[in-house]
Structure 1
């Protein structure tokens, strides 16, 4: 009987499909369906993802692990969706008693992006007008950098200033980096990378192809996703624990 149970357990394990890693096109199609067919608002999605990113950071770097110094976090935001997610992440980190500072070199004219910026300002989160130097960053001005710059939207083969300069600085620092969805400068489709080397990656909906060989702490925030979409795109998402909205892969 034990042998039979063991065999059936092995057979069941073999039938579990591996987690799917998405291409840029896959992600665009899923987002389009969420907004068009499932009536998720863009602001709603960004809020869900930004809060999940903040929660992932609290799991990777709990306040108790930062007791020797202030829990300071530098959140670097780009002008597109990843930047908006970074703004929401910063706001939630502030609520969780971290001390975020935002560097936002090119502000977007998009109304949602502006609204998220105002929300951060109303929470008394400081905005920098310049990126701290490598020396300032290395000398413990911050415990952590959140990379919310480029994401899916950017052509990694043609990164312009100020982001190319920011990436050059981030390659030199020793403090941890947590990247939102796609590390800035990485090609979404390619698993081997030559850019920054984040310690934490927070994938949204499902991991992207670039994360196939990622060896740091990897969190997934996709529990809100409707079951029909999960099935249609064969995402094979893992089981989340309890009421958690994210899981460490």
Structure 2
């Protein structure tokens, strides 16, 4: 190795160190949202900034897929099969979008969607997944999870209020008991958006916060925490003093 190569390596290492330090400083100042703030930001994105639900869902779901690929590369998983558990709301829609993108990244997603929403948006998302030959199942038990390298938790978002509805009691129990790592979208399902996990809450290895982290993320102690959804207008960031970290390059997600 010559002197020029050594200098380049040292410069790159120093730059990486500075970037990590700046990200750490940004993380300390980043705002964690309560439920009302999270709801109001969504309302403003729809009403004031004229984003559509499906537009934000596509951006969020794509960033989720990218965060999963960074945290759990397909070649390092015990199986390239992913179990994507989708709920009836927007969080479930994010999961459907993420499954479609993950299928293009070399993974084999299998969608568990016990309560499909009879609205055009969700029918279209399901149609898109089926058109890409993504398998959909109506039941999952603990033994079956051994076939998967990762479980994607897209059941409940920040509007969740306990108790868990009967349709989802089984899958929640499965996620509590499985040894397969879990990637939760925005909120670990069953957690209180502000107060964090219940006593028997799931313990995801990866949390992908969307728009900005929610207060419960302060109690997340898994391996990876990403911020996804590179779509928040600067003026909205300033209004709510979000202090979001800088996304690297052209990435749609950033580790926090």
TM-score by length of 1: 0.88
Change in 2 beyond 3 A, CA 1:15/1:160: closer
Runs of at least 4 residues of structure 1 off by over 2 A? 13-17, 191-194
* 1:226 paired to 2:237: no
Contact preservation (8 Å) 2:59, 2:229 = no
Corresponding residue SS for 2:152: strand
Pairing of 1:170-185 with structure 2 (within 5 A):
170-185=175-190
CA deviation map 1:87-134 (0-9, x unaligned): 000000001110000010000012111110110010100001211x21
CA deviation map 1:178-213 (0-9, x unaligned): 000011100001145431000000000000001112
Tell me what 2:70 maps to.
Answer: 59
Gaps of 5+ in 1: 1-12
Tell me what 1:147 maps to.
Answer: 153
Structure 2 residue corresponding to 1:77, chosen from 71, 83, 86: 86
TM-score by length of 2: 0.86
Tell me what 1:112 maps to.
Answer: 121
Gaps of 5+ in 2: 1-23
Corresponding residue SS for 2:172: helix
Q: How many residues align?
A: 231
Change in 2 beyond 3 A, CA 1:126/1:14: closer
Distance in structure 1 (CA, Å) of the matches to 2:196 and 2:79: 35
Distance in structure 1 (CA, Å) of the matches to 2:47 and 2:76: 42
Pairing of 1:20-169 with structure 2 (within 5 A):
20-66=31-77, 69-131=78-140, 133-137=141-145, 140-156=146-162, 158-169=163-174
Distance in structure 2 (CA, Å) of the matches to 1:152 and 1:242: 29
Tell me what 1:235 maps to.
Answer: 242
